[in-house]
Amino acid sequence: MISYLKQYTVIWGFLLLASATISTHTANASVVKTPKSQNFKLEKLVQIQPQTTKVAKTKIHPSFLPILPKLKSISKFPILLPRIIPGSEGENKLYAVIETATANKYGIILGFTSDCGGGNACRFGDISAKTVTKTTPRLLGKTVKLANGITAYFIDAKCGANCSDSTLTWQFKGVRYTAGIKAGKLRDLLQMANSFIAP
């Protein structure tokens, strides 16, 4: 009888030890896996967040934002404005000033002061749009293709004591749009024109 009890005690002790060992390994395994899983999710969130922030940025060039409400309230045709204005990335802030605005046309001066009237000292360039009519003169200049396949017409600047604007003009859905940069290069005007979008 005593021998049987000793055997039973040894077996019971062995079972308790085995159970404790399995529980310890299971607990350790869960502790190791959980942080790895959490770290992996956190790393993915950190990578995705900047991409989401970029989407929220404004479409058109920020210089047009102050005048956009007025343009929308007056214009009776589609407004197109550029996202990109090459050469405006310097320290001097660029301002968009409405020169003229009616139901069928608008003209915007791009300048380095908020009250620029188009004078050479403050002028950077201009943007204009006008509905096409039977009396609208035909387009002149060097023909080039925009990214969407539309034909545009380039007129280079003329320089004397001062330089005029180089311009790129094209027509889209019955409206003639012009982008101008003072003494601008064709490549810059193409980049600007190809970035025109509806605000």
Predicted confidence (pLDDT) per residue in 38-71, tens digit: 444 434 434 434 443 343 455 999 999 999 999 9
Query: Is the model's pLDDT at 2 over the cut of 60?
Result: no
Average pLDDT over residues 122-148: 96
The structure's pTM equals 0.70
DSSP 94-135: PEEEEEEE-SSEEEEEEESSTT--S-TTTEEEEEEEEE--TT
Judge whether 20 and 157 are in contact, CB under 8 Å. no
Cα–Cα distance, 65 to 61 (Å, whole number): 8
Predicted confidence (pLDDT) per residue in 66-94, tens digit: 999 999 999 999 999 999 999 887 777 89
Predicted confidence (pLDDT) per residue in 137-166, tens digit: 999 999 999 999 999 999 999 998 899 999
Average pLDDT over residues 121-150: 96
pLDDT score for 58: 57
Average pLDDT over residues 6-35: 47
> Which pairs count as long-range contacts for 11-19, CB under 8 Å and 24+ apart, including other chains?
none
Look at the domain 62-197 and name its fold: Jelly Rolls (2.60.120)
In whole angstroms, what separates CA 76 from the centre of its chain?
26
Query: Is the model's pLDDT at 123 over the cut of 90?
Result: yes
Judge whether 58 and 81 are in contact, CB under 8 Å. no
User: What is the DSSP code (8-state) at residue 74?
Assistant: H
pLDDT score for 118: 85
Judge whether 59 and 37 are in contact, CB under 8 Å. no
Cα–Cα distance, 132 to 175 (Å, whole number): 5
Query: Is the model's pLDDT at 106 over the cut of 80?
Result: yes
Q: Which of 167, 176, 171 is nearest to 104 (CA)?
A: 176
Q: What ranges do the domains of the chain cover?
A: 1-57, 62-197
